[in-house]
Structure 1
Amino acid sequence: MKYSYITLMLLLMLGLQCFSQTKLEREHRIKKSQFPAIDIDKLPLENTKHIRYYREVDTSKITYTLKFKKGKMHYHINYNEKGALQNTGFMVKEVDIPTDAYANIDSYLKENFKKIKIKYIQQRYLGSSEDVLKNTFQNLILPNNTYKLMLRGKKADRKEDYIAIFDAEGNLMKTTLALPANYDRVLY
């Protein structure tokens, strides 16, 4: 009977651990007043839900992100510290990517990693073009699209988180290690 209590407590503790999540990016939610000044009138924000403002710290730069849900799509618009548009995009799944492009992405991932778990995929539009907002909200597939994958990959018996960026044909543009989780909230 003594062992059944110990076993029960162990199972409960392991069960709670299974539902926890780790935040892989150093992204902090901020107030609207802390967000850079942008022309909000240019954004088609009618019928949107869950408008949130974020500040993301990367190894080389600081990015401000406006995230919201419109319809069933989760959009993001990235700005630099001065409020200039950098890129826009939305979350997609593997089936939303053209088959040739995803075949190239998949072959690269299988060649370079033993195991892969894709956390998310974003279809992104560069902020340098003039019709970037129109293209984003029409969900167009253009030759200058990029796909950003956050994945956990295993190389040489070591699992690490990576961010990989592919072009519209599925060719690798850049891959970097993702920043480790931020544990500032943990007190010892």
Structure 2
Amino acid sequence: MKKFSVLMLLMSFCVSFSQSKNEKEERIPASEFPEIAQGYFNIISHEVKYLKYYKETDGDKKSFEVKFKYKKEHYSAEFDTLGKLEDIEIVIKKRHIPKDVYSAISKYFDENYRKVVVVKVQKQYVNTTDKPDRQFIRKVLEKPFNKHTHFEIIAEIKTKYIHELREFTFDRHGVFEKSRKVTTSSYEHALY
């Protein structure tokens, strides 16, 4: 029985290790950002605060991210290397998650972990419509409290065997979709 327990622990460690967020983020000038995506923000650059451009690598994946503050909300928009929008995220407080949704998220945490400390919460918007990226971005900026597609939560979790920082993705109803370990090298910029 002990051999089986050790084997299960090792397998869960391998799965956890293979699904880790090991992002490296580097601030870049706007001129190095994909031109098409940069154009989306040139139009509103006078309306936003702290418009900053970044290049990210996460293993083999490369992407670009723009971070800014607009109407007192903190946004980030991520693009692939060709300038196609991947997602838009808005930092929110835990209390801004609807009660029924947070209840479903809490139930997941209670069933799977001994202790959970929420560090950061974001609403995530993925363009699943046929709208062009520019139009979709504008819609999110104009009505940030409209329907979003996901919640992304960074939390410190504890089980009997582990204590680590993880990034969780839940759908807009609070149904768990995926999680991955956040490494210490990506921890600092993950908190913006």
TM tier, smaller: 0.7 to 0.9
Question: Following TM superposition, by how much is the alpha carbon of 1:25 offset from its aligned partner in structure 2, in angstroms?
Answer: 4.5
Residue 10 of structure 1 corresponds to which residue in structure 2? Answer: none
CA distance in 1, matches of 2:139, 2:102: 21
Q: TM-score, normalised by structure 2?
A: 0.74
Counterpart of 2:175? Answer: 171
Any gaps of 5 or more consecutive residues in structure 1?
1-23, 183-188
Counterparts in 2 of 1:151 and 1:60: CA distance versus 1, 3 Å: farther
Q: Secondary structure at the match of 2:184?
A: coil
1:110 Cα offset (Å)? 1.8
Shift of 1:91: 0.4
Q: Please give the residue correspondences for 1:51-90 in structure 2 after superposition, counting only pairs within 5 Å.
A: 51-90=51-90
Question: Deviations 1:118-149 (Å, cap 9, x if unpaired)?
Answer: 2211101103432531342111332x510111
| 1:79-118 alignment runs, 5 A limit | 79-118=79-118
Aligned partner of 1:102: which letter? Y
Cα separation, 2, equivalents of 1:161 and 1:39: 31
User: Bigger CA drift: 129-138 or 37-46?
Assistant: 37-46
- Counterpart in the other structure of 1:158: 162
Aligned residue number for residue 146 of structure 1: 150
Residue deviations 1:54-74, cap 9 Å, x none? Answer: 122224522211000112100
Letter aligned with residue 86 of structure 2: Q
* Matching residue within 11, 24, 43 for 1:26: 24
Distance 1:60 1:149, change over 3 A: farther
Distance 1:141 1:155 in 2: 35
Give, in angstroms, the shift of residue 46 of structure 1.
3.5
The separation in 1 between residues aligned to 2:116 and 2:173, in whole angstroms, is 20
* Whole-angstrom CA distance in 1 between matches of 2:56 and 2:181: 15
- For this pair of structures, how many residues does the alignment match? 158
Residue number in structure 2 paired with 1:21: none
Correspondence for 2:19: none
Distance in 2, matches of 1:168 and 1:25, equals: 25
Aligned partners of 2:170, 2:110: CA distance in 1, in Å?
15
Q: Percent identity?
A: 25
Q: Match for 2:103: what amino acid?
A: A
Which TM-score applies when normalising by structure 1? 0.75
